Amino acid sequence: MRRPLRLLLLLVLCALLGALPQRASAQTCTASASALSFGNISPIALSAVSATGTATISCTWPVITLTPSVQVCLNQGGATPRYLGSGSNQLLYGLYQDAAHSIPWGSIALGTTPISVILNKPLVGNTATASVNFYGQVTANQATVPTAGNASTVYSQTLSQTSLTYGFFLLVSPGCAALTTSAGSFGFTANATVVNDCLISATNVAFTASGVLSSALNAKGSITARCTNGDAYRIALNGGSSGNVAARQMQRSGGGGTVNYQLYTDAGHASVWGDGTAGTTMPTGTGTGNAVSITVYGVVPSQTTPTPGNYSDAITATISF
């Protein structure tokens, strides 16, 4: 009577084995990242510029699993500090885990902190996907970063040493330092476009008070220009109230008189500073990223003294680049 029982048990066991999946899928994770684009950057603005990228993580479980959660860590390798490059020129920036740029994106291998994410097996399906932001910031006060060929210039870096490690678990996360399973590396690029830009400011040309205009009066002012390193520029002065760069005039406050005067690019008063018309000239230069002060030389020639009063003119300086 025992033999039929053994046979029955064997048949039941075979039936149960046949009901199990014939082949279980492996537990795996993959990741990819978007490009990190800082857009247009004017170095002479001296301000930090921020950008946000996104890493996408996907993990797959078998149909039946005893480890429904997974610890995923994104390790950012490579040398620091980091630079975007254009030829031999560099633009300093950093990669961070938070929008406040207080936690650098690091790597266990370098003794720094990677990005850490936990995913859980979904109730329906075998795959869970998560997106996590990472943050970049171009460092402030890099005034001398140049453009090339007097044109907007792309700076970039390919980050190919971003590695993915993961570990599936039941209750307690193993933490990034304990992970031994690697899905290899994935890459993305960081880029910025350095643009030509100029900033301009001026101080007044103030002539001393005079009772009569029997001799010439001289005065100086200045125009300060700061242009992107490598950016060619020129500065024009308009004709003021007279509308004539070759024959400027100051007007009496309240009306009733004018004083002739002129502005020059040189101390010898040989070149009238104008807009290039009527024989006038415009100072030109190439930016270095640093502020440059250009002297404006003013002259009130001897002339018939008009009605006493305060005389002035408003000149517009325009920088072209």
User: For 91-124, what is each residue's pLDDT tens digit?
Assistant: 999 999 999 999 999 999 999 999 999 999 999 9
**Two domains, one topology: 24-194 and 198-320:** yes
| Predicted local distance difference test score (pLDDT) of residue 21 | 34
Q: Where are the domains of the chain?
A: 24-194, 198-320
| Predicted local distance difference test score (pLDDT) of residue 11 | 29
Tokens for 230?
A: 């490598």
- Report the predicted TM-score, pTM, of the whole model to 2 decimal places: 0.84
Tokens for 70?
A: 């997974």
Give the CATH fold of the 24-194 domain: Immunoglobulin-like (2.60.40)
| Predicted local distance difference test score (pLDDT) of residue 110 | 93
| Predicted local distance difference test score (pLDDT) of residue 8 | 32
CA distance 11 to 17: 10
| Predicted local distance difference test score (pLDDT) of residue 135 | 98
Degrees (nearest 5) of the Cα angle 39, 224, 226? 20
* pLDDT tens-place values along the chain, 321 residues long: 344 433 333 223 223 333 333 333 489 999 999 999 999 999 999 999 999 999 999 999 999 999 999 999 999 998 899 999 999 999 999 999 999 999 999 999 999 999 999 999 999 999 999 999 999 999 999 999 999 999 999 999 999 989 999 999 999 999 999 998 998 899 999 999 999 999 999 999 999 999 999 999 999 999 999 999 999 999 999 999 999 999 999 999 998 999 999 999 999 999 999 999 999 999 999 999 999 999 999 999 999 999 999 999 999 999 999
Tokens for 171?
A: 């209750």
Buried b (16+ CB within 10 A) or exposed e, 139-177: eeebbebbbeeeeebebbbebeebbbbbbbeeeeeeebe
| Predicted local distance difference test score (pLDDT) of residue 26 | 83
Closest-CA residue to 43 (of 141, 154, 153) = 141
Degrees (nearest 5) of the Cα angle 48, 52, 58? 155
Q: 198-320 — its CATH code? A: 2.60.40.1090
